Amino acid sequence: MSKDTELDMKDVALNDVDPEKQPMTDGAAANDIVASPTGTEKNGCVKVKIPEENDAKFTGLSKEELLKVAGTPGWVRTRWALLVLFWLGWLGMLAGAIVIIVQAPRCEPLPALNWWNLGPLYQVGDVAAFTEAGNLKGVEEKMDALNKLKVKGLVLGPIHVANADKVSTLEFGEIAAEVGTLDQFKSLIHTAHKKGISVVLDLTPNYHGKEAWFANVSVTNVAEKLKSALVFWLDQGVDGVQLSGVDRVSSLVPSLWKDIRAIVQMGEKRRLLIGVVDRRDAMDVSNLLNSSEVDLLLSGVLQSSCSPKAGGGESYVDCEQAIQELYSAQTQTQLAWNLGGRVHGHLASLVGSGLVKLTQVLLFALPGTPVFNYGDEIGLEDQDTTFPRMHWDSKDANETTQDESLFKDLSELRGKERSLIHGDFSVIHSSNSTLAFLRHWDQSSRYLAVFNWAPEAVTLKLTGANLPTQATVQLSTDSMPPKGSTVQLAALELGPQQAVLLSYPYSS
C-alpha cells in the first residue's frame, strides 16, 4: 500500500467520525472549512508529512575528507600557531616558577633535637611526699596528671638504698623498702612510656648525706659500683640518669667518669645524662658543662640572679647578664633552666608566691630545657625545711587551678612552637626590674616575653629590632591584658610582678 493511500484512509477515518466527537471541532460541522498553516483543510483533518527514507542526514566528514581538509594551508598555519603558543606559555610558567623559587627565602635547616629538648622535665625527689600512697605505685597513678601538664620527662628519686654518710650501706640496685618494689618500678616505666613520658632515675650515691659521693677516699669505689648499677637500671628501661656532684667525680676520677658517661650516652637509644651542681657563676657553670660533657647541667645560676635578694632593693640586671653569658657560650640544646629542686626546695619558697607565675613564664620562654620541682605548677611551698605533700584533693584545689592552667598553657606552647623550642634568643630591653626578650626562628611566629619584677606597674616602650607596632597576647600572669587581645608595643603596660608572652607573625 502506498503512502498516499495510507493518508487517504486516515482522512476518511476522521471524516466518518461524528462531528461532535471529532477533535478540535467544538461541535462544528464536519464539512466546515478552517484555515491551516499549510492551507485550507476540513475541520478534523490533519496533514502529516512523513519524511522520505532517502532524505539526507549529516553524519560528519569521513576520514578521507578530514585528511583532505587538514592538509590545507590555512589549517596547517593554525596548528603551528597553537603549538607555538602552547610552548611559549609553558616556558613562561616554568620561568615564573624558577623566579619564585629563587627569590623566596630559604628555610633554615632544623637543629638536631633530643626528646629532652621538646618540653619540660618534672622532678619528683621525694616519692613519699608526692602522692597519698607515698610509693612508686602512687607515682604511677599520677601519670595522667603529668601527661596533662605536657611534661616530656619525669626525673625520679633517688630511690636506692643508702644510709646517710655510710658508704657501706650503699646498694645502687636495691629500691628502698619504704619507696616500693622493682615490680612497681617496672610498671611505672611501662605506664610512663605509654603516655609518652621518659623516665630519668636519680642515682646520686649519698643523697641523704652531706657529700653526694661520700668522702674523697670513697669516690673511686662508689664510681665503680655505679658503673655496674647503670647497666642494671638501663636494662629496666630508664631513659636517663641524674647525678649530683658531677664536678667532684669528674675531676677526682676522670677515667671512671668517662666510663660512666659512655654507659649512659652511648648506644642506639639516646639516653639523657643530667648533672647537678651547686655553682652559681654563669661562666663557671658553662666551663663545667664543657668539661663534664653531660647533656644538661642544673645549677644555682638563676637562683642567685633571677630571684629576690635578701634585704630588699632587688635588681634583676644580673639575671639578664647570666642568661646572656650561658646562651652565648653554649648550644641552647645543652642549656637547662631551674630554680630549686630536691635539695633547695620549691619555686614558691625561693621567689615568693607573687612571682611564681612570672618565673614559670621565664623558665618556659628561655632557650633551653625548663626543669621544675614537683608542686611548682601549683605554687607549692616548703614547710619547716621538709618537703610538703601534694594536696591533690584538698580544699585549696580551686585556688591552685589558675596556676596549673598557666603551666599547662605554657607547656603546650613550648612543645609546639619552633621559636620556643629551638629559636634564637635576643634581649630587647633590660633594666633593674624589667626584661624583654625575643624568641624567633626562620619564618615561624615570633614570641616576645616581657617581665616586670617590680611591685608597681610600669609602661615599657618596645621599639626597634624590627619589632612591629603591635602584638597579640598569648599568655598573661594577670587578667589584663586578656588573652587574644592586641597591645601596642610602644606603650606596653604591665602590672606589678606581671609577665606576658606576646606573639606576632613573621614578615620578610
Residue 3: is its pLDDT beyond 70?
Answer: no
What's the CA dihedral at 152, 161, 212, 225 to 10 degrees?
-90
Of residues 374 and 83, the one with the higher pLDDT is 374
How far apart are the C-alpha atoms of 170 and 117, rounded to whole Å?
Answer: 33
Q: 97 or 255: which carries more pLDDT confidence?
A: 255
Q: What share of the chain is helix, strand, coil (3-state, %, to 5)?
A: 40, 20, 40
| Cis status, amide bond into 481, omega within 30 of 0 | yes
Strand order in the sheet with 240-244: 296-298, 272-276, 240-244, 198-202, 153-156, 121-124, 369-373, 336-337
User: 37: pLDDT confidence band, cut at 50, 70 and 90?
Assistant: very low
Mean pLDDT of 137-154: 96
Q: pLDDT category, 2, cuts 50, 70, 90?
A: very low
Here the cell at position 443 is: 619564618
Q: Distance between CA atoms of 375 and 126, rounded to whole angstroms?
A: 11
Give the pLDDT band of residue 79 (cuts 50, 70, 90). Answer: confident
Residues 223-238 have a mean pLDDT of 96
Per-residue pLDDT band for 403 (boundaries 50, 70, 90) equals: confident
For residues 391-400, b (16+ Cβ closer than 10 Å) or e, as one string? eeeeeeeeeb
Identify whether the C-beta of residue 323 lies closer than 8 Å to the C-beta of residue 101. Answer: no
d(CA 207, CA 213): 9
* pLDDT recorded at residue 299: 96
DSSP 222-286: HHHHHHHHHHHHHHTT--EEEEE-HHHHHHH-HHHHHHHHHHHH-SSS--EEEEE-----HHHHH
> What percent of the chain is modeled with pLDDT above 90?
65
At 77, the pLDDT band (50, 70, 90 cuts) reads confident
pLDDT class of 132 with cuts at 50, 70, 90: confident
Q: Write out pLDDT tens, residues 316-339.
A: 889 999 999 999 999 999 999 999
The answer to whether 422 touches 484, Cβ cutoff 8 Å, is no
Cα separation, 381 vs 290, in Å, equals: 34
Instruction: Identify the pLDDT of residue 124.
Output: 97
Whole-number Å distance between alpha carbons of 206 and 49: 117
- What was the pLDDT predicted at 383? 76
- Is the pLDDT at 20 greater than 80? The verdict is no
Say which residues have a Cβ less than 8 Å from residue 294's Cβ, sequence separation at least 6. Answer: 246, 261, 273, 274, 275
The answer to whether residues 142 and 112 touch, using CB atoms and an 8 Å cutoff, is no
Average pLDDT of span 191-196 = 98
pLDDT of residue 478: 93
Bridge partners of residue 242, in order along the sequence: 202, 274
Could you give the 3-state DSSP secondary structure of residue 290?
helix
Average pLDDT over residues 304-314: 70
238 near 155, Cβ under 8 Å? no
Q: How much is the pLDDT for 11?
A: 46
Give residue 384's pLDDT band: very low, low, confident or very high (50, 70, 90): low
Interatomic CA distance for residues 223 and 210, integer angstroms: 17
Q: Which CA distances in Å does 374 have to 114, 130, 151, 268, 377?
A: 23, 7, 11, 31, 7
Set of cell numbers at residue 24: 478540535
Tell me the average pLDDT across 189-206: 98
pLDDT of residue 416: 95
**pLDDT (0 to 100) of residue 30:** 42
pLDDT at position 62 over 70: yes
User: In 3D, which of 167, 198, 500, 267 has the Cα closest to residue 365?
Assistant: 500
Which grid cell is 3?
503512502
- For residue 48, the model assigns a pLDDT of 56
**% residues pLDDT > 70 (the chain):** 83
Q: What is the pLDDT of residues 475-492, one digit of tens each?
A: 999 989 999 999 999 999
Residue 13: is its pLDDT beyond 70?
Answer: no
How many angstroms separate the CA atoms of 223 and 230, rounded? Answer: 10
Q: Are 151 and 411 in contact (CB under 8 A)?
A: yes
Give residue 401's pLDDT: 66
Residue range 81-126, pLDDT digits in tens: 888 889 989 888 988 888 877 776 677 788 899 999 999 999 999 9
* Average pLDDT across the chain, whole number: 86
Q: pTM of the prediction?
A: 0.80
Question: What pLDDT shows up at residue 7?
Answer: 44
